[in-house]
Amino acid sequence: MAAKSTSTARQEGARSHAPARRGRGAPALVPGAAGRAARALDPVIHERTRLGILSALAVSDTLSFVELKSLLQATDGNLSVHARKLEEADYVSCQKRFAGRVPRTEFRITASGRKALEAYLGHMEALIRATRR
């Protein structure tokens, strides 16, 4: 009997412990109304930092980069990447200006950002209601 190669044995071992993948016709992991609400969540908003940015801007006219960074306890790079993603989706607008010689970046939620946040929250509420039944 020939011995299996190390890579073949590793692949077979990995397969036996890997979770089963859903095929196209497989049922959703979350059935019914809860599943529909979960699938309707906006992937642009459904990230902790981006949700935090939109939530903070929803209750403020504008917030500076420094204010958002402090509020969300985010790093410069992390906040920058997530703010840019929201800006690309037209959920926030960014205005860069100078206060004297100091650069100041201010963010504001857009009308489409407010509408997307309200829809997201509505889907979350539907998901919570569906799981309480």
Burial 85-114 (b: 16+ CB within 10 A, else e): bbeebebbeeeeeeeeeeeebbbebbeebe
End-to-end CA distance of the chain: 57
Domain that holds residue 70: 48-133
**Does 40 map to a domain?**
no
Amino acid making up residue 102: V
pLDDT band of 129, cuts 50, 70, 90:
confident
> Which residue's structure tokens are 């692949």?
11
Residue 103's CATH number: 1.10.10.10
Q: How confident is the model at residue 50 (pLDDT cuts 50, 70, 90)?
A: very high
Q: Would you say residue 34 lies in a domain?
A: no
Domain presence at residue 102: yes
What's the mean pLDDT when you consider all of the chain?
81
pTM, rounded to two decimals: 0.71
In a domain, 1, yes or no: no
Could you report the per-residue pLDDT of 59-99, keeping only the tens digit for each? 999 999 999 999 999 999 999 999 999 999 999 999 999 98
- Please report, to the nearest 10 degrees, the dihedral formed by the alpha carbons of residues 34, 45, 47, 132 taken in order: -20
